[in-house]
Structure 1
Amino acid sequence: MSHDTFNLDKNQLIQHAFNQMEQHIQDAGYSLRQKLALTCRILFDNGHDSGLAGQITARMEQPGTFLTQRLGLGFDEISAGNLLLVDENLQVLEGDGMANPANRFHAWVYRARPDVRCIIHTHAVHTAALSMLEVPLQISHMDNCVLYEDVAFLPKWPGVPVGNEEGELIASALGNKRALLLAHHGLLVACGSIEEACLLALAFERAARMHLLAASAGKIEPIDPELGREAHDWILRAQRSAAAFAYYARRSLKQPHNADCL
């Protein structure tokens, strides 16, 4: 492509940017275990702390198995070395301790969605507050468009999600979307990579906070659907996810309390 880009239309410039990303942005080189542990620390450092509530899992190559954190440890205590490998029945195959019994619904989502490699469920405070209103999350700002038309809504709280009924309900409510707001509960993100899931969980909580702030001041106005979809696809690129995840990882690893993460 010519270095003179002033005669190109927007679609050509977007494609030009994507081509450059593929050339210049590389994976940071973390192992899958390290990525999952980093995700726990990143989310803790960015408002997703809720004691021992919430689970983060990553699908493994052996069918019906996934990595998750040990019950009894907070997100800020998870490291690559203390993650558990479990099967769909939550039996521990590698590691010490037990998985959170609420991980059962993760297995239902993995069964329903072969494309999903990572699931994040948290009770981040702004998302949890929004969930109490029993209204869908509104995406009406450029920064949040990674979630545009990609957030489902479960308006009924089924209770503690440790039964198979809750797993079926949550997997069905999620459908083919990447995210789900669960009324009176929290958020669920299900993505094709750990990096993407981490970033969408961060975006979800920020969007919920912005929703509450904007709604307290007036009526939230919708954005143009075509532009929302354009922004969604612009942000949701593997190279952008890799770069953003690496940034958040660097930021968290600078904190002394995360020195043991990797």
Structure 2
Amino acid sequence: MATTFTDPKDALAGRAARQMRDHFGDSGLTVRQKLALTCRILFDGGHDSGLAGQITARGEAPGTYYTQRLGLGFDEITEDNLLLVDEDLNVLEGTGMPNPANRFHSWIYRAREDVHCVIHTHPLHVCALSMLEVPLVVSQMDTTPLYDDCAFLKEWPGVPVGNEEGEIISAALGDKRAVLLAHHGQLVVGACVEEACNLAVLIERAARLQLLAMAAGTVHPLPHDLAKEAHDWTSTDRRYQANFAYHARRALRAHPDCVAAGVAL
């Protein structure tokens, strides 16, 4: 006989959270493997734009991070061809050079100790929205992890290879997890690769939904309290891990070469 039909919502939410802690956890993948899989996940999700964009994650030593080699597309990244660089973009491990636009990642890592992964890409719908110089509007349940968590930089500072752009972009991000960059693209950050990957997938979906809705009529806002509740409910490490595992399984089926043979999720 059912025993939960009179339970309040907070009790049911707590029950579900406890079950998620029991059933989901870290994949055991290395940071290199998670980063390589993220590159393939986002390639399949429409985030590729030639050689534009950078996906980075902190290294073990302070002031270091992993990134892809300039000249390789997201669909060519493997755990073995990633570079380890320092804040000045000197290569510490690997062969080749990093994208010089990685400089603003160094600024973000310095400004935000809580950030362990930075994803900057130029996906189609995000870029289209950025051309309109309007902020991202989160008005659908699936995209609520970005609710009140996406900043907007309206002024394009130019090619982000200087320290000025690092200061501008890191300041625009502030304490949020995402920023829409006008005439440019998107940037998301996370306390782990899984979190940032999930937000990157969602920001492109949110931009696409917004453009479709704007073309059809007026986008109506979500009720603030309910949207904040949904943001917090979906912004947990177990949710990131479960979502990432799903996306990674799809990527592994399509791109089994990106990580060592035998990796399973």
Same fold (TM over 0.5): yes
Question: Aligned runs of 1:222-261 on 2, under 5 Å?
Answer: 222-255=221-254, 258-261=255-258
| Alignment partner, residue 111 of structure 1 | 110
| Alignment partner, residue 22 of structure 1 | 21
Question: Aligned runs of 1:187-226 on 2, under 5 Å?
Answer: 187-226=186-225
| Alignment partner, residue 122 of structure 2 | 123
Please give the alpha-carbon distance, in whole angstroms, between the structure 2 residues aligned to 1:114 and 1:26: 23
Q: TM-score, normalised by structure 2?
A: 0.96
List runs of 5+ in structure 2 lacking aligned partners.
260-265
Secondary structure of the residue that 1:190 maps to in structure 2?
strand
Please give the alpha-carbon distance, in whole angstroms, between the structure 1 residues aligned to 2:108 and 2:11: 37
Secondary structure of the residue that 2:25 maps to in structure 1?
coil
Task: Summarize deviations over 1:112-153 as a string: whole Å, max 9, x none.
Answer: 000000000000000000000000000000001010000000
Secondary structure of the residue that 1:56 maps to in structure 2?
strand
Secondary structure of the residue that 1:254 maps to in structure 2?
helix
Q: 2:100 matched to 1:101?
A: yes
Task: Summarize deviations over 1:70-114 as a string: whole Å, max 9, x none.
Answer: 000000000000000000000000000000000000000000000
Please give the alpha-carbon distance, in whole angstroms, between the structure 1 residues aligned to 2:156 and 2:23: 45
Please give the alpha-carbon distance, in whole angstroms, between the structure 1 residues aligned to 2:103 and 2:198: 23
Please give the alpha-carbon distance, in whole angstroms, between the structure 2 residues aligned to 1:19 and 1:7: 19
| Alignment partner, residue 146 of structure 2 | 147
Please give the alpha-carbon distance, in whole angstroms, between the structure 2 residues aligned to 1:36 and 1:223: 33
Task: Summarize deviations over 1:4-57 as a string: whole Å, max 9, x none.
Answer: 222211111111110110011122221110000000000001111101000000
Give the AA of the match of 1:187: Q
Q: TM-score, normalised by structure 1?
A: 0.97
State percent identity of aligned pairs: 64
Please give the alpha-carbon distance, in whole angstroms, between the structure 2 residues aligned to 1:106 and 1:180: 13
| 1:61 positional shift | 2.4
Secondary structure of the residue that 1:260 maps to in structure 2?
helix
Please give the alpha-carbon distance, in whole angstroms, between the structure 2 residues aligned to 1:260 and 1:144: 31
Secondary structure of the residue that 1:227 maps to in structure 2?
helix
| Alignment partner, residue 7 of structure 2 | 8
Please give the alpha-carbon distance, in whole angstroms, between the structure 2 residues aligned to 1:9 and 1:114: 37
Please give the alpha-carbon distance, in whole angstroms, between the structure 1 residues aligned to 2:3 and 2:16: 14
| 1:259 positional shift | 2.0
Length, aligned pairs only: 259
Please give the alpha-carbon distance, in whole angstroms, between the structure 1 residues aligned to 2:110 and 2:241: 26
| Alignment partner, residue 49 of structure 1 | 48
Please give the alpha-carbon distance, in whole angstroms, between the structure 1 residues aligned to 2:108 and 2:28: 28
Please give the alpha-carbon distance, in whole angstroms, between the structure 1 residues aligned to 2:220 and 2:45: 27
| Alignment partner, residue 66 of structure 1 | 65
| Alignment partner, residue 181 of structure 1 | 180
Give the AA of the match of 1:19: R
| Alignment partner, residue 262 of structure 2 | none
Secondary structure of the residue that 2:258 maps to in structure 1?
coil
Please give the alpha-carbon distance, in whole angstroms, between the structure 2 residues aligned to 1:239 and 1:250: 17
Please give the alpha-carbon distance, in whole angstroms, between the structure 1 residues aligned to 2:140 and 2:256: 35
